[in-house]
Chains A and B, each alone.
Chain A
């Protein structure tokens, strides 16, 4: 069985700075990490391999600047087998539609005969959750989103639970399939020593748009259907009444009950 795990390198902090001119993130000087939600996809891939044993190959694919190779190495350290990074200036500024086009083109080129594509529900920076299902659509695969449990995989099919509004939907799909996972699915492990050593030594091929045979007109900012035209800080402040329990807890709580009464909440 061949598995592809898609990972993204994201800023290790929420406190990112924006270039207000271009509407893009300033990534210089900011520590990066593997998108925390991708760790669940990596973990699930490794668990499938542990369950089935021999014959399972886990390929990690990412797209980003050269330093995103660290994210691919992190996935190798946890237990993935091979890694690839799509890296080219021509990819810069891609929206989800273009990113998914590039990733799906890369998968087709690099991993023949895959059975399963795993990804996190969304990345913690862009937070769209669109790339996974879009990759599935480009490859003509069904997309199982919000997967919280893989009950069975093998013999050309998968049975999985999807965490949706009001409960869990149990679905069966033929392979190959794209699966995006939610946090409920597992508890990601930390890499062990031998994993780290392997990740250090392994060669991660860097591939350009030309290498994967992507149509250059469909790439980057110019190929993206959507454009960020403005960025700004959200305003959510309210000027409420703040009281302290110091000395008079009873009075503070009575004040709250009066407030709720006045607002016709109670």
Chain B
């Protein structure tokens, strides 16, 4: 293990994300988390953005909460690849020594951060849904679900620095844009072996999903085993279309092959935080609840009055979904015509 003076480590860092040439909103969520931590510690909040042709787009990170934006902009960095991204980030962390480094628990964050933990000899906590500061000890308090959402664990990293976590997407809303905020943009240059990658990206096959990807959807109509047969997915699609929303599903429904895994909501699927979540024929196993309980409005439709899902519902209908959903579609369409 490397000998280090950990007292030198100061400041909060976030690893932002670029997708399809744009700053991805998970970067704003990280800034919302990081701002709270940095203010408590009275230190700067910095965000690192690695990408291609991104220099002009990073300005928006300052009104979203960043004090410093470190930009590494090179055509070779258009897509996330583990070798160059981890080499660059390791070098920067070793140079600037932040006490905290957070990333989003996306496919990128969950791939790069474990590698960072090994390269930096530092601890890492996965998939946090809560971050706070213990001011007395000046330590990061990391909270995360485990064991199918049955328990929450609070975790600290007492000695090694930086303290690192991945944070579950959609577990916090971005801060409102504040154009009066001041910040600094610092462009860092990397070249040569920093840009090489053993892994080559050959192609990208885009998935044609119904509506927005569920983790970004504002309206989600989700179904479970209670839908009884894949042919009834059409009914749920019809309801989703009324809201211009996306389809979600429980693990049972995806395991039965009624819809692809990309629609699965819950601990082993996606975490969602929409304005509206309609759960039809979903019993509400804790694993499912862990993925959707932060929705603004939850509607449950289930024939079993004792189903768990009613415990988290804002409005629940005990009844046959094959009776309720067509009626609901009809009434919503009538309502839309009136308006």
Contact = CB atoms under 8 A, between A and B. Distances in A.
Contact of B114 (A11, A25, A96, A169): A96
Contact of A170 (B125, B203, B328): B203
Given A100-B118, A226-B156, A171 B324 contact: no
Contacts, number: 258
Contacts of A146: 107, 111
Interface stretch (A59-67, A72-80, A109-117, A131-139): A131-139
Interface string B190-224: 00000000111111111100000101000100000
Interface in A131-186: 131-134, 136-138, 142-146, 159, 161-174, 182-184
Given A173-B198, A237-B311, A97 B124 contact: yes
B21 interface: no
Q: Is the interface of B mostly helix, strand, loop or mixed?
A: mixed
A263 B332 contact: no
Nearest to A101: B118
B289 interface: yes
A249 B328 CA distance: 10
A250 B331 CA distance: 9
B333 to A, nearest CB: 11
A234 B290 contact: yes
B152 interface: yes
A244 interface: yes
Contacts of B1: 218
B155 interface: yes
B327 A250 contact: yes
B41 interface: no
A138 B120 CA distance: 11
Interface stretch (A42-50, A121-129, A206-214): A121-129
A127 B199 contact: no
Nearest to B284: A236
A224 interface: yes
Interface stretch (B27-35, B175-183, B292-300): B292-300
A192 interface: no
B320 interface: yes
A165 B107 contact: yes
Contacts of A126: 146
Contacts of A169: 79, 201, 203-205
B324 A184 contact: no
A240 B160 contact: no
Contact of B198 (A18, A97, A174, A237): A174
B120 to A, nearest CB: 10
A116 B159 CA distance: 34
Interface string A253-266: 11111011101011
A3 to B, nearest CB: 19
Contacts of B150: 14-16, 233-234
A232 to B, nearest CB: 5
A241 interface: yes
Contact of A226 (B19, B79, B157, B293): B157
Interface in B246-283: 260-262, 267-268, 275-276
A227 B155 contact: yes
Contacts of B267: 127
B96 interface: no
B123 A226 contact: yes
B83 interface: yes
B320 A164 contact: no
Nearest to A129: B110
A231 B318 contact: no
A231 B152 contact: yes
B29 to A, nearest CB: 14
Contacts of B316: 240-243
Contact of A129 (B126, B141, B323): B126
A94 to B, nearest CB: 12
Interface of B: 1, 19, 79, 82-83, 106-108, 110-111, 113-115, 117-119, 122-127, 141, 145-160, 198-207, 213, 215, 219, 243, 260-262, 267-268, 275-276, 286-287, 289-290, 293, 297-300, 305, 310-320, 323-324, 327-328, 331-332, 335-336
Given A11-B147, A145-B107, A238-B311, 12 more contacts: A124-B147, A125-B147, A142-B82, A166-B206, A167-B204, A173-B198, A225-B124, A228-B154, A236-B312, A246-B318, A257-B332, A265-B297
Q: Which 5 A-B pairs have the closest CB atoms?
A: A225-B123, A245-B319, A137-B118, A14-B148, A128-B126
6 contacts: A124-B147, A130-B114, A133-B115, A236-B311, A236-B312, A252-B324
